[in-house]
């Protein structure tokens, strides 16, 4: 379970004390505030705070004295224009602060996104919980034969059972030793000094959970989501990105719709690709050999146009 009853009670008490404010409020985001959305087996993501809404993007773009809103239609048009033309700074006027609980190997991919502010749970100061990510059977997949950076079909039968058993047993044994090393009692019952937590943690596997607060502006969050909610991203980070997408959709619906249309659903074409498309539209039967593209480029091009 991702949250203890005490932690849930703290969240409930925060949500029970609404305050009046003059600041921009997104009703959609207010519904998410503080609540933990479960991800993977022990993880979650929850919104701690946010700044701005769709109108704040327009307000910044127009450098307005008021809310910056003209009409919903007008604002949506402006937001789509900004997204289409990579006029990104108005999106930076919105920010969100998330609390994320995630396996360490996912955190390593996540932290590569440098344009955020992070504060991580200290395993020098605190003792990590005995919580490890163990994939569901359908996520326990074989190495992909076509993509070195991907996975194929789910393992089955004895192999799946053996792998699951090793994952659980190795994690459990590593944690037993972690506890034994930091404890003040030796296995024979005598007193011991206890190894520093900052050293004992090096024995723990990468599927143990960590937590952090992660604050980012909307422009850089869209960049993160574009890469990590994409089918090419590893499943274990993609499920976090998918959960965040649902929040952003409610927070800034117009900006999210433009992002989905131009970034998630859109494609980028090279000049060679544009030339090929023009030739195809003119009726020419273009092949990879006559396209001027490499085999990989052509495969991706065909993947888009069929």
Ligand X SMILES: Cc1cc2nc3c(=O)[nH]c(=O)nc-3n(C[C@H](O)[C@H](O)[C@H](O)COP(=O)(O)OP(=O)(O)OC[C@H]3O[C@@H](n4cnc5c(N)ncnc54)[C@H](O)[C@@H]3O)c2cc1C
Q: Which is nearer to ligand X, 50 or 222 (CB)?
A: 222
Q: Which stretch binds ligand X (CB under 6 A): 63-71, 97-105, 152-160, 226-234?
A: 226-234
Structure tokens at 42: 């022990």
Residues of span 142-201 touching ligand X by CB under 6 A: none
Nearest distance in Å: CB 228, ligand X: 6
Q: Which residues are CB-neighbours of 60 under 8 A, at least 6 positions away?
A: 68, 89, 90, 93
| Closest C-alpha among 209, 262, 254, 253 to residue 99 | 209
Q: Using the rule CB under 6 A, is 115 a contact of ligand X?
A: yes
124 is catalytic: no
Among 67, 151, 197, 223, interactor with ligand X by CB under 6 A: 223
Among 98, 106, 233, 255, interactor with ligand X by CB under 6 A: 233
Based on the number of CB atoms within 10 Å of its own CB, is 257 exposed (0-12), middle (13-18) or buried (19 or more)? middle
Cα–Cα distance, 154 to 158 (Å, whole number): 12
Nearest-CB residue to ligand X? 114
Among 182, 227, 245, 257, interactor with ligand X by CB under 6 A: 227
| Phi, psi dihedrals of residue 192, rounded to the nearest 5° | -140, 160
Among 85, 114, 124, 295, interactor with ligand X by CB under 6 A: 114
Q: Which stretch binds ligand X (CB under 6 A): 19-27, 65-73, 106-114, 199-207?
A: 106-114
Nearest distance in Å: CB 232, ligand X: 4
- Burial pattern 176-212, b for ≥16 Cβ within 10 A else e, equals eebeebbeeeeeeeeeeeeeebeebbeebbebbbbbb
Q: Are 44 and 214 in contact (CB under 8 A)?
A: no
Using CB under 6 A, list all residues that contact ligand X: 112-115, 220, 223, 227, 232-233
């Amino acid at each position: 379970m991702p949250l203890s009853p005490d932690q849930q009670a703290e969240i409930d008490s925060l949500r029970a004390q609404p305050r009046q404010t003059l600041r921009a409020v997104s009703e959609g985001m207010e519904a998410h505030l503080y609540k933990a959305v479960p991800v993977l087996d022990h993880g979650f993501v929850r919104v701690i705070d946010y700044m701005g809404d769709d109108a704040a993007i327009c307000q910044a773009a127009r450098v307005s004295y008021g809310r910056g809103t003209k009409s919903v239609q007008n604002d949506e048009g402006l937001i789509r224009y900004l997204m289409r033309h990579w006029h990104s700074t108005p999106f930076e006027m919105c920010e969100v602060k998330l609390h994320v609980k995630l396996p360490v190997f996912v955190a390593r991919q996540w932290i590569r996104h440098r344009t955020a502010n992070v504060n991580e749970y200290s395993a020098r100061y605190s003792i990590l919980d005995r919580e490890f990510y163990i994939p569901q059977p359908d996520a326990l997949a074989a190495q992909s034969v076509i993509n070195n950076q991907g996975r194929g079909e789910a393992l089955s039968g004895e192999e799946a059972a053996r792998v699951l058993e090793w994952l659980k047993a190795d994690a459990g044994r590593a944690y037993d030793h972690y506890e034994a090393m930091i404890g003040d009692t030796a296995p024979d019952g005598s007193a011991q000094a206890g190894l520093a937590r900052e050293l004992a943690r090096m024995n723990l596997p990468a599927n143990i959970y960590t937590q952090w607060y992660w604050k980012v502006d909307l422009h850089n969050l869209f960049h993160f989501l574009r890469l990590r909610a994409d089918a090419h991203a590893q499943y274990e980070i993609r499920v976090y990105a998918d959960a965040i997408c649902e929040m952003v959709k409610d927070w800034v619906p117009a900006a999210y719709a433009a992002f989905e249309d131009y970034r998630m659903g859109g494609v980028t074409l090279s000049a060679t690709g544009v030339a090929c498309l023009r030739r195809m539209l003119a009726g020419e039967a273009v092949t990879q050999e006559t396209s001027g593209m490499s085999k990989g480029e052509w495969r991706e091009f065909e993947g888009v146009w069929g």
